[in-house]
Amino acid sequence: MAPMKGLTVFVADLRKCRSHEEEERRVNKELANIRVKFKEHSLNSYNRKKYVCKLMYMSLLGYDVNFGHKEAVELANSAKYSEKQIGYLAVSLLISEDSGFMRSVLVSLRRDIHDTNEFNVCLALCAITNVPTREIAEALTEDILMQLLSPASSMFIKKKAALCLLRLFRRFPEQTRARTWAARVIPYMGHRDVGVTLSVTSLATALAQQFPEEMRKAASFAVRRLKSLVIDREFSVDYVYYKVPAPWLQIKLLRLLQYFPAPSSADLRGQLLNTLRHIIDVSQDVPRELQQMNAQYSILFEAINLGIHLDIDQGLMHESAMLLGRFITSRETNVRYLGLETMSHLAAYIDSLAPLKRYQGVIIQSLRDRDVSVRRRALDLLYSMCDVDSAKPIVSELLRHMATADLALREEMALKVAILTEKYATEYSWYVDVMMRLVSLAGDHMGDEVWHRIVQVILGNEELQMYACKISLQTLKAPVCHESAFKVSAYVLGEFGHLIANASDSAPIDQLKALQSKMSATSLSARAVALTTIAKFINLFPEIKTLCLRVLDRYRSALDAELQQRACEYYALATVESQDLMPTVFEEMPPFPERQSALMSRLLKQEGNTEDQRTWIPGGRDINRKHREQNSSQQDLQEDIPESAAATDPSFSEVPKELDEQAAADPAASALTPEEQERIAKSRKHYARLLWENDGILYDGDEIQVGLMAQYKPPAGRIGVFLGNKSAAAIYEISVHAFIKQSESKSVDCSALEIQLSSNQSSLPESLMPMAQSRIYFDVKCKQMYSTPPTLRISYTLAGAPSVLELQLPVTAAHFMDPVTISVNDFFARWKQLGEATVGGESQAVLKTPFLSSGTDAIQWLRSVVGGMGFALIQGADPVPDNLVAVGIATAEDAGRFGCLLRVEPKISHRMTRVTIRATNETLAKVVATNIGMVFASH
């Protein structure tokens, strides 16, 4: 691209600015100049590129650039490569995904993807990857897939197409319908070009995480390709990185195999095991060069992770444990990090933890590492390798380290200490001591789940309760008591304080004084717990009832509503003259039912989501076994779901028959799969758009695409139907018919609309090749007003299987309407006349219109819809500026002409719109109301 002098000067001016204010003045001056230039119609190509580049540069500097979008789209639509390049780059940087300009960009993208110039194809693929939208994913996924699968595509395009599909799948998995084509990309994992294989393997890895059954054949391709690289040494020298052949591809193949079980074939299993052993043997020699060491160790760690996941050779695991023990003592921080993480994975699968316990001292020492990520991995490993024998020393070390641990690490450490203590406690006194010390040390860095769980465990174990009361009272009498420890102590004494009431230093009055001594310094939530405890003291210890009532009475005038309400209610209960009321209300809490620990749920939620799902979780062999069983049961449940029945009956709700409310009442709708519901919603959107636009897509399926182009001159019209073959095979025996479909529920006058094939056109071809298109025209004529649109039936044969598709044509009585302009006085005179007349009809509806939140743009869209439906807007007829008033006249050849008046009253604050139609024909009023309702519902 040739240098642009004006851009160079502008960048130099900004770099010379000595302050932000000076730079901002220069930017504002340039923005004003560009606005003026864009308003000139004589702007040439060079200047348009230059000004758009300046806008991109200012946007990258952080300035708000809210114009120039139209010029960027025009550049993207240009036939010149230099203009197209800048246009797509500007679209990626300046235009948001929800902008209306993305529809124009979509047209350009579709054209460039099928361009014979591969540079234009690559530009389009890059633009899709940078600004993927839901509409782009729906419309272009099949086109991108064809670029990947087409034998005519170059290696360069195949790589970009695979990565583009990966991006769309991660952003919009439902719109890409990846389940239908996932298996078709697997053979390209064996492509001769390593770059194509690498890109397709990345795509296959993402697909395997969502559709393991469809991608099961990818495992055999990965094993064979891995063997050819590692053992057979079949690779190009262009992909050798410091004596390591294609390290990125090896890593991705090893990671892909971790999403599948061990191969059932003995041959594949042997090849995979030999490959893993070869990788481990080669890594025994420490490389001299840092780059070679990084590449080699990255492959090694993934190989060990795969060996652990497959769990096919315990000897290999013990050998891996020894190798990892060497890595966690390395001087390289990255090697220590990977060694600790991989050893955590090993602890989740290995039968005996003895090979790992020999490194326990080294792992504990890693808790003091300078790098916080290494300290976090050391914590994970200690948590995973803990068992009954090593629980006390590990928990003791974690508690000792907690006082100096990072704030970001302290919450996770506290959760893991609490879980380990509960899981491996063999002595009740040890559990209570550890947990009370834990809440005292890290109470500020943990949620309420920890002290809630302590209370649950104490309530469920009678042996714990007396000792817990003693420790709770000691905690309250200590000089310093953390708030979480105060809550636990208060709750426990309120439930079981009577168990220690006979001891010399644990009398009821001592318990109350200890509680009061710390109560005033705690938070409102802690004082609420303490008030409940005091109320329970009244029931447990009648001798201190007067003192307890005095405390409650003081809080009856508290400023906090919660404390005041509790104090008032407890005081009222305690002063009621009834011997049974207090014992019934403050009865001892029953044990909590057994269920998954809230601490474990909290810990699992803290696991970060990454692009590649983890196949294991920290926590040892037992929890990972449960995790695998749960995932297996979910997968089996998904496999039991039947496939979509739409392929056998395409006429089933492909397009809407009535409004959304009526469709929702259909009992068959509850049986639809998510894929069918998505396709129906998409078809409704296409149909609704064609109710006010004369050309567009009517149906976009996996095999064919149906487009529509209409021209109306009431009472006649001409409809063009375009058929496109989206499959990879030719379509034969094509037949297209249009007719008025009889309904069983209501009578339909088939003579109200005439529709027949146009005479002056060629017949349909015998076959339609892939990516080819054919068209056919129909002549329509409105005889009378009608309510049921015609039906389009398309039959064809693909791969020997006949298919029939029935679609409702968006040709309604409202399409035969001409706009008519009348004065404001005439409009309201006729509006009043139609409202009082017995002939004709009125239809009114209040519709949800959430799109009104966009303000001015939404009102402008409403005007476009009303105008597109054949109405003429009457300006100034309504005192509310946003309200729309319009007039149209529908023409039928036999029945004559019918006037139709329309009022649209949007309420932006409520996101609702009232639509009122009055017409001289009742059927026409209902049809217009139905059309508007469908358009609003689909927007």
Among 525, 539, 541, 543, which residue's Cα sits nearest to residue 570? 539
Amino acid at position 341, single letter: E
Cα–Cα distances in angstroms (integers) from residue 16 to residues 21, 60, 118, in the given order? 12, 17, 41
Q: Would you call 803 helix, strand, or coil by DSSP?
A: strand
Question: What single-letter amino acid sits at 174?
Answer: E
Q: In what order do the strands lie in the sheet with 695-700?
A: 695-700, 704-713, 716-725, 773-782, 753-757
Question: Strand, coil or helix: what is 569?
Answer: helix
Q: Is 52 annotated as a binding residue?
A: yes
Classify each residue of 474-485 as buried b or exposed e, where b means 16 or more C-beta atoms within 10 Å of its C-beta.
ebbbeeebbbbb
**The tokens of 590 are what?**
């029953």
The answer on whether 84 is annotated among ligand-binding residues is no
Residue 469, marked binder = no
Q: What amino acid occupies position 877?
A: A
Q: Beta-carbon neighbour count of residue 180 at 10 Å?
A: 15
Residue-wise over 843-866: b if at least 16 C-beta within 10 A, else e?
A: beeebebeebeeeeebbebbeebb
> Token match 């078709």: residue?
184
Local structure of residue 760 (DSSP, 8 states): S
Peptide bond into 212 cis (omega under 30): no
The verdict on whether residue 37 carries a ligand-binding annotation is yes
Distances (CA, A) of 72 to 11, 30, 48: 20, 17, 9
Tokens of 704: 């064919």
Nearest to 780 by CA among 869, 715, 695: 715
Helix, strand and coil in the chain, % to nearest 5? 60, 10, 30
Query: Of 766, 803, 794, which is closest to residue 706 (Cα–Cα)?
Result: 794
3-state secondary structure of 755: strand
Could you give the CA distance from residue 168 to residue 128 in angstroms, rounded to a whole number?
8
User: Looking at this protein, which amino acid is placed at residue 222?
Assistant: A
Q: Would the annotation count 50 as a binding residue?
A: yes
Q: Which two tokens stand for residue 579?
A: 């011997």
* HEC readout, 392-434: HHHHHHHHHHHCCCCHHHHHHHHHHHHHHHHHHCCCHHHHHHH
- d(CA 795, CA 483) in angstroms, rounded, equals 74
46 is in an annotated binding site: yes
Nearest to 807 by CA among 793, 795, 796, 788: 793
Task: Characterise 412 by phi-psi region: left (phi > 0), alpha (psi -120 to 50), beta (else).
Answer: alpha
Task: Tell me whether residue 900 is annotated as binding.
Answer: no
Give dist(CA 403, CA 380) in Å, integer: 18
Backbone angles phi, psi at 596, to 5 degrees: -65, 135
Name residue 574's amino acid. A
Q: What is the CA radius of gyration of the chain?
A: 37
Residue count of the chain: 939
Residue appearing with tokens 């003693």:
470
Angle at 651 (CA atoms; ends 650, 656), nearest 5 degrees = 120
CB-based contacts of 277: which residues, under 8 Å, 6+ apart? Answer: 316
Query: What φ, ψ does residue 931 adopt, rounded to 5°?
Result: -60, -45
Give the 3-state secondary structure of 177-208.
CHHHCHHHHHHHHHCCCHHHHHHHHHHHHHHH
Classify residue 362 as exposed, middle or buried by CB count within 10 Å of its CB (0-12, 13-18, 19+): middle
How far apart (Å, rounded) are the C-alpha atoms in residues 1 and 85? 9
Annotated binding site: 37, 46, 50-54
